[in-house]
């Protein structure tokens, strides 16, 4: 379990992470989502005590990272694929990590086998492809067989086979009861792996919700209607108490309506329809809308960049504001 308490990081005047409070639970894959520059990597570096928070704290299973006596056996992290010396062989890279935590040497061969790098164990990692580097980084994260796993953009630059492998690996790790925390800027990827979502934008918590809730709240379904008699159709719809919105291309959009009912209504009034199609907004769109709103809000109502506001409890402020609008 990872607990973030009012985590804040300031670089000069820029707030990279702003009062982040949330909890990452064991047993499931938790997706950490945000656009580029939202503060995901900074947050993960602060979790590992690589960057010192300006305010707030991170606790891993109740302890601060610095207090861990054998950190690799508690937390495994993949930060970036190339956080290794290219001149060292895969085996030696893992060996020096294992030795620093008193992990038996035999474990190195085991994790190399797990990630499928046994055949290139003696090769220098300089010549590795991005995918192989990613696998070696994951081997390093698994070395201590830890309870908590952090992956920063693990699918970046991977081929479909590699993406599939990482996806299953993360799900398996979580099903063993471990805490798995994965950052990504791809909503579509998270929809396939994560069960819980933490969304941040401009360093602030935007949503802390289960994936199922997020999908339910954000997959806006509507029916698109196109007709040469648009005005009459609008009258008929409003006469039946149905609100229709005129879209940019002249079509009408009706939120949450039943397509069959709209078709029957039009037929009863003998209105010609050129299109009657149920539509589903994608999660990617929902995510973009969610994060775009945070940017928009920031630009309009933050004229004086004052000191950081206090820690926000999850579910209040940004998240709920948005959820009201969205649903």
Which residues of this chain interact with another protein, rule CB under 8 A? 1, 23, 25-28, 45, 48-52, 61-62, 65-66, 68-73, 75, 77, 79-80, 82-89, 92, 95-97, 99-104, 107, 140, 144-147, 175-179, 195, 210, 212-213, 216
Shortest reach from residue 101's CB to another protein, in Å: 5
Shortest reach from residue 263's CB to another protein, in Å: 25
Say if residues 76 and 150 touch (Cβ distance below 8 Å): yes
Measured from the CB atom, is 89 or 282 closer to another protein?
89
Measured from the CB atom, is 87 or 228 closer to another protein?
87
Shortest reach from residue 69's CB to another protein, in Å: 4
Measured from the CB atom, is 212 or 260 closer to another protein?
212
Shortest reach from residue 94's CB to another protein, in Å: 10
Q: Which of 326, 40, 314 shows the shortest CA–CA distance to 202? A: 40
Measured from the CB atom, is 58 or 225 closer to another protein?
58
Cβ burial, residue 37 (10 Å; 0-12/13-18/19+): middle
Measured from the CB atom, is 84 or 225 closer to another protein?
84
- Upper half-sphere CA count for residue 141 (Cβ side, 13 Å): 31
| Beta strand extents in 171-220 (DSSP E only) | 179-184, 196-201, 204-210
Measured from the CB atom, is 80 or 258 closer to another protein?
80
CA distance 256 to 258: 7
Q: Which of 88, 91, 153, 79 shows the shortest CA–CA distance to 120? A: 91
Q: Which of 285, 298, 283 shows the shortest CA–CA distance to 202? A: 298
CA angle (63 as vertex; 62, 65 as ends), nearest 5:
140
Measured from the CB atom, is 178 or 204 closer to another protein?
178
Shortest reach from residue 75's CB to another protein, in Å: 8
Shortest reach from residue 228's CB to another protein, in Å: 37
Measured from the CB atom, is 38 or 75 closer to another protein?
75
Q: Which of 1, 3, 2, 14 shows the shortest CA–CA distance to 54? A: 14
Shortest reach from residue 113's CB to another protein, in Å: 16
Q: Which of 140, 145, 144 shows the shortest CA–CA distance to 154? A: 140
Phi, psi of 45 (to 5 degrees): -65, -35
Q: Which of 223, 241, 232 shows the shortest CA–CA distance to 270? A: 232
Q: Which of 272, 237, 270 shows the shortest CA–CA distance to 253? A: 237
Listing DSSP states for 139-151 in one string gives HHHHTT--SEEEE
Shortest reach from residue 279's CB to another protein, in Å: 19
Q: What are the tokens at 2? A: 């990872």
């Amino acid at each position: 379990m990872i607990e973030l308490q009012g985590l804040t990081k300031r670089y000069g005047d820029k707030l990279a992470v702003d009062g982040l409070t949330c909890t990452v639970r064991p047993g499931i894959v938790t997706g950490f989502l945000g656009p580029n520059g939202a503060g995901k990597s900074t947050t993960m570096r602060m979790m590992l005590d690589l960057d010192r928070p300006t305010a707030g704290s991170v606790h891993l299973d109740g302890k601060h990272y610095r207090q861990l006596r054998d950190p690799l056996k508690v937390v495994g992290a993949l930060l970036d694929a190339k956080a290794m010396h290219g001149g060292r062989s895969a085996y030696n890279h893992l060996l020096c990590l294992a030795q620093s935590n008193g992990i038996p040497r035999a474990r190195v061969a085991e994790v190399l086998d797990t990630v499928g790098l046994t055949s290139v164990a003696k090769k220098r990692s300089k010549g590795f492809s991005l995918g192989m580097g990613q696998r070696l980084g994951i081997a390093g994260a698994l070395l201590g067989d830890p309870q908590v796993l952090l992956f920063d953009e693990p699918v970046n630059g991977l081929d479909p086979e590699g993406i599939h492998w990482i996806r299953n690996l993360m799900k398996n790790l979580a099903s063993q009861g471990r805490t798995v925390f994965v950052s990504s800027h791809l909503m579509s990827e998270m929809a396939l792996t994560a069960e819980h979502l933490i969304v941040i934008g401009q360093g602030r918590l935007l949503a802390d919700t289960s994936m199922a809730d997020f999908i339910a709240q954000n997959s806006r379904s509507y029916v698109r209607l196109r007709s040469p008699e648009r005005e009459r159709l609008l009258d008929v719809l409003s006469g039946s108490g149905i609100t229709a919105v005129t879209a940019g291309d002249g079509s009408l959009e009706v939120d949450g309506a039943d397509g069959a009912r709209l078709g029957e209504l039009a037929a009863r009034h003998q209105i010609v329809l050129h299109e009657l199609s149920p539509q589903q907004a994608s999660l990617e769109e929902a995510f973009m809308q969610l994060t775009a709103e945070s940017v928009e809000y920031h630009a309009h109502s933050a004229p004086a960049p004052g000191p950081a506001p206090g820690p926000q409890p999850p579910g209040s402020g940004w998240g709920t504001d948005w959820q009201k609008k969205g649903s």
